[in-house]
Structure 1
Amino acid sequence: MGNGVLKWAAAAAVAVLLGIVAGMFVLRPQVLSITSGTLLKTPRPIDDFQLSAASGAAFSKADLAGHWTVVFAGFTFCPDVCPTTLTELKAVNARLGDAAKDVRFLFLSVDPERDTPEKIGQYIAFFDPAFQGATGDTAALEKLGANLGFVYAKVPGATPDSYTIDHSTALILIDPQARIAGYLTPPFKPDAMAADLEAIIAASN
């Protein structure tokens, strides 16, 4: 084989290699950049779970499928963080416009001793009737917390019933395939959060 043929073969091989590399960069999924938190490069699967919805019906992983879900873990006796966050989420929902049909907001109570499904329903309706609510027994909540990435701890009060609960303030973003897509972190700014959610939905369509 002559030098000319060798040079041509080498050049062709380099061109093919460069084409493959370029194709990898062009075709590789890009992670959307948001200002309200962090999106995972690869969505993380969620184990199935069994909770009770505010309506009293069963609530499981299947109820997260088919739409985006913003999950907030808290409790109805929360004096500050929870009502503030739910008020901000109400503002986010109002700013979503047409995109609101693709997003659910789920308040997950980590205080099953005091928060019955009925109480949760009354609580979230005060902020936005469109909000969903759920809770479960301690074992189910602890397992789900380890899976989703939220933590909480009971803090004793002056009396057995006056305890409070320390809990994570980050919001968990679940994609339509019921996988963890990312986390939204405080301080929450409704305009920015709504814009981020709209961008995420648009990028997924």
Structure 2
Amino acid sequence: MAVKKIRIQDFLSELTLFNELNDSELDDVAQASVEINVDRGNLAFQRGDPCNGFHIVVCGQVKLALVSPQGNEKVIAILRPGQSFGEALMFMERPYIMSAQALVDTKLLHVPKTAVLAQLALDYRFVQKMLVSLSQRLYELINDIEAYSLKSGSQRVVDYLLQCNQHARTSSCHLECSKAVVASRLNLTPEHFSRILHGLCTNRLIRVNGRAVTIVNIEKLRGYQGRILP
């Protein structure tokens, strides 16, 4: 795997959590942090491993998933560069309850708990940003519970496509990973996910070519409830 080395201070200074630290503080965090290269398909950690810090995705893509003893998997997040994970478990001093797998060749930065606690003791702004980060995770979790409990499969897929479209800022977007992984993230079977995509195509709301999705009629897509449209 060929992933170029980074200057950790520069990378950290671009992140909201660290962008108000001075050079000396950035140096302290950078010196304590460790770069981890994870080949596609390999695990950065698995359920039961100790959590003594948190990870930030430098480049690549990471799948966080719960895996049952029978091997069944539920994807709980797909993380892109700049996103972090593991903060809450780090503070709770509990082992990981999920696994983290690289979907492509990935570089992670592991920031140890000791470095985080040192900054929390020094800077109230850092405390506030950490609280905002943890609150954002709780907000996202509640949104997920709402979607799984109160929205149909079709509504979850439509919401996902609209979100992808918003990030892409064009009528075309690209599924961020395989359809099976996206389906699990949306709490759907791959077959159900494919049927919903087919229904959206039949209603001339989207076009699908592999992972490429083009939204044909965004207004009708927003109102789609899984029925055949006139």
Q: Structures share a fold, TM > 0.5?
A: no
Bigger relative CO (Cα 8 Å, ≥ 6 apart): 1
Tell me the TM-score normalised to structure 2 length. Answer: 0.26
Please tell me whether Structure 1 or Structure 2 has the larger radius of gyration of its CA atoms: 1
Tell me the TM-score normalised to structure 1 length. Answer: 0.29
